[in-house]
Each structure stands twice: as structure tokens, then as C-alpha cells.
Structure 1
Amino acid sequence: MTINYAQAREAMVEQQVRPWDVLDVRVLETLSRLPREAFVPEVHRALAYADIELPLGHGQKMMKPVVEGRTLQALAIQPDEEVLEIGTGSGYLSACLGALARDVVSLEIVPDLAAAARSRLDATGLGTNVRIETADALHYATERRFDAVCVTGAVAEVPAQFLQWLRPGGRLFVVRGRSPVMEAVLVRNDVNAARIDSLFETDLPYLTGAAPAPQFVF
């Protein structure tokens, strides 16, 4: 059976993403245009536009399309902005960020995933403005500051350095808390203090090293 991916992509946008209050025209256009199937492991390609997380190997998963849509909408990335992505994964969200922003740096802790994402970006001709670095975000150091930071894995608590990478007025999207009920938040680096907006509840795998310490029950 041959899958009509263009049709599946349109259905994903109209039946999953838009009904979940993703109404940003640039985000919807990006999701409608980019070939998500090209970033999905071959064995799961038929499920590229299904409303489920997809395994990427190494304990990592690709977020549901609705969560990707909400993430992109929350960050409200402008064409002249620079973005830091923490957790490249498949490279699909990196491509979406690249379509919306001027420049993207994406950190991936697993070398195999970083290499696979780079090859997918190159094969699709997307992400010419996306640089992937193999690095552990929890021990990453840079003097560079970004307009937006997009974290694709959960954290128990938001690490302080994630906020330090923001320019004044910058935005951080992150999912925090304890599984199975986590909260997606947008943190704004306002002049006087960080402002946190709660967005929605979800449940994502933790970034490597960012899971909460186990709680012992006696």
C-alpha cells in the first residue's frame, strides 16, 4: 500500500494540530510543508503523521505532532531570530525551527542521533541554517545568547543555565515536573525577572541527566 504523505500531512494539521488551538499561520504553514516522514525511522514511517510519540532508539522519542505544533506556537519565532534547541532527536523540529528562524543551534547528546538528524536535514535540503552539535546541554558552555531556547525533553527542575542563554526578552519552552503529569511552560526573560506561563499538561521522556532523584518510600 502506497501512503499519500501529502494527504496525511494535511490531515495531521487539520484534524490534530489545528483543533488543539494551534492557529499561528506560520507554524501551520511550516507543518503543512515539511516532510515529517523523512525524519521518522524507516520502520515507523507509515505512522509519521499519527497522533503518537515515535521511538527513535537510545531511549528517545519523537514528540506527538500536536505537542510540536504547540511548542512552535508558544515560542512565536520571528524570521530574524536565533534559536537554541536542546535535544535534536530526529531533526524534524530542528527543521521546523530552521524554517521559522534565521539561525538554529541544536544540541544532541547521542552521537548516532546527531549524525542521523544531520543526514536527514541534508537529504531533504532543509536545515541549511541549522548547526547540530554533539553535546550534553547540562554541561554545555557558550557565551552566545539566543532569542529562543526550545527544550525537547523534560526536566525535573529548569536548569539555571538554560535561562542564562536567553537574550533580554527571550523565551524558553520547557516541560517540567514528574511523570506522568508534567507541565509545559514558557519562561520569558523579562527585564526585572523571569515570567512563567503555564501552557498545557503532557508527559515527555526526561533529558539525559535531568530526571528527578528517586524518591524512597519506607
Structure 2
Amino acid sequence: MPPLHDDAVGRLLERFGPPVDDVVHDMEARAARESFPTVGPAVGRTLALCVRLSGARSILELGSGFGYSAYWMARALPEDGFVVLTDRDTERLRAAREYFERGGLTDHAVYGHGDAIELAADLPGTFDLVVLDHDTADYGRGFEAVRELVAPGGALLADNVAVYGDVLTPAGLVATLDGEPAPTPRTEAVAGFLRRVDADPEFEPYLLPVDEGLLVAPRVR
């Protein structure tokens, strides 16, 4: 599919907002070496903006990897704020802990090892922001697991919701891939997730054309 914006706009998006520090540089270099997907600096800055604007003090992230997006958000938290990182890979969580230590953010992180959706199901209380960045094929299940964990006035965020192809037709949200008539299981899963959030009266979803598409859905009631 065509990019959501051209390279010039991408460079402009990366020009403003929190700076890229040495820890972020090292995480990006690691991602390149290992071909590991991260949200990238444009989405990282947008996530930080969401933290700033919402005044969030508590964040839950499903699918943290080695902490790239969580690190961007943690830097924007107030002194008493925290982010819960989740991942099933022990080595990635260990790396995330080291990056947070290097960035002086140890007190802002809680680490959950295991399946992100299963971990979310056992968490008490609510969070100001809940971020879905695990396997997009499981975004629907992820939403069901965290829906009640989003505090009223808080928001759900989901990355990579526009990367798999067109999901909007005159008939509504229906997954297709680059105009092909038959959707793939993954595009159908993403479209199903978008339909579910869009139909939920307690959420007001917005799609931001940042990198591969960032859904921001405040909980309005």
C-alpha cells in the first residue's frame, strides 16, 4: 500500500518533540541488526505526546519487546508515573530493563513476563493509557482483555492499524489488501478490531496517519 505520508512529512514529524537520546539510538541500532520491528521515532514522539496531553500516570503496554515505545512514553511520565511492560521473551525484557536503567527510568517501569493478553487479564485496577503493540492478529482479543482496564477519561492506543491495506469501503470497515478482493486473515483481524472499537459507545476512535497508522481511542464514558 502507499505510505501514509511522504518522506518529507516524515522528516518534519521527527523534527519536533523529545530528542532522540543515546539509549534510543542504541535501541534503533539493535532493531536494525536484529530486524526487530519498533514503532519508530515518529510514533514514539506521538506516544509521548499522548502521555503529556492526557496527564497519564499509569500505562499498560501489550507487547513491549525490548522497551522502545515504552521508553518514549516513560520519559514523558510525571515523577510518580509508571509503565507496565509485557513480553513473553525473557531476553527482550532483560534488555528493556537495562535500557531503562541507562536512561534513569528504573522507577518508572514494571515488567511482566508472559503472554501479554493473559497477563492483562489478571491485572487489577485501571490505567490511564493502554497500548496495543503485540501481534496485530490478536488485537481483537487484546481489546477484549484490556477494555475494562482503560480508565474513563483515559485512552486506548494501537499501532500498525493501517499497514496491511485498505480497510474502508463504501460498505464499511472491510479488510482488503492493496485492492485485492479477498482479505488475508491478518487484514481481516485488524479490520475486525477496528470495527469493534468503532462500534463501542464507550470509545471515540481517531486514526492518526503516523508511520503505519496509530489508533487513539479515548474512553469517553
Is TM more than 0.5 here? yes
Q: 1:19 aligns with which of 12, 17, 21?
A: 12
Higher share of residues assigned strand? 1
Q: 2:98 aligns with which of 96, 106, 119?
A: 119
The code of the aligned residue for 2:153 comes to G
Distance 1:134 1:16 in 2: 37
Counterparts in 2 of 1:69 and 1:201: CA distance versus 1, 3 Å: closer
Counterparts in 2 of 1:68 and 1:79: CA distance versus 1, 3 Å: same
Q: 2:203 aligns with which of 194, 200, 209?
A: 194
Secondary structure at the aligned position of 1:133 is classed as strand
Q: Which runs of 5+ in 2 are unaligned?
A: 1-7, 166-189, 214-221
Aligned CA-pair RMSD: 3.6
Aligned match of 1:107: 86
Distance 1:163 1:75 in 2: 19
Aligned match of 2:149: 165
> Does residue 143 of the first structure (1) align with residue 143 of the second (2)?
no
Once the two structures are superposed, residues 91-126 of structure 1 have per-residue CA deviations (whole angstroms, 9 ceiling, x without a partner) of 232222222221111111211101111122223323
> Does residue 71 of the first structure (1) align with residue 47 of the second (2)?
yes
Counterparts in 2 of 1:39 and 1:32: CA distance versus 1, 3 Å: closer
**Amino-acid identity (%):** 18
Higher relative contact order (CA 8 A, sep 6+): 2
Q: Which runs of 5+ in 1 are unaligned?
A: 1-14, 46-52, 205-218
Q: Is the 8 A contact 1:22 1:70 kept in 2?
A: no
Q: 2:107 aligns with which of 124, 128, 132?
A: 128
Q: Is the 8 A contact 2:64 2:70 kept in 1?
A: yes
Distance 2:15 2:133 in 1: 18
Distance 1:33 1:178 in 2: 28
Q: 2:66 aligns with which of 67, 86, 90?
A: 90
Q: Is the 8 A contact 1:98 1:104 kept in 2?
A: yes
TM-score by length of 2: 0.61
TM-score by length of 1: 0.62
Counterparts in 2 of 1:96 and 1:202: CA distance versus 1, 3 Å: closer
Number of corresponding residues: 170
Secondary structure at the aligned position of 2:129 is classed as strand
Higher share of residues assigned helix? 2
Secondary structure at the aligned position of 2:75 is classed as helix
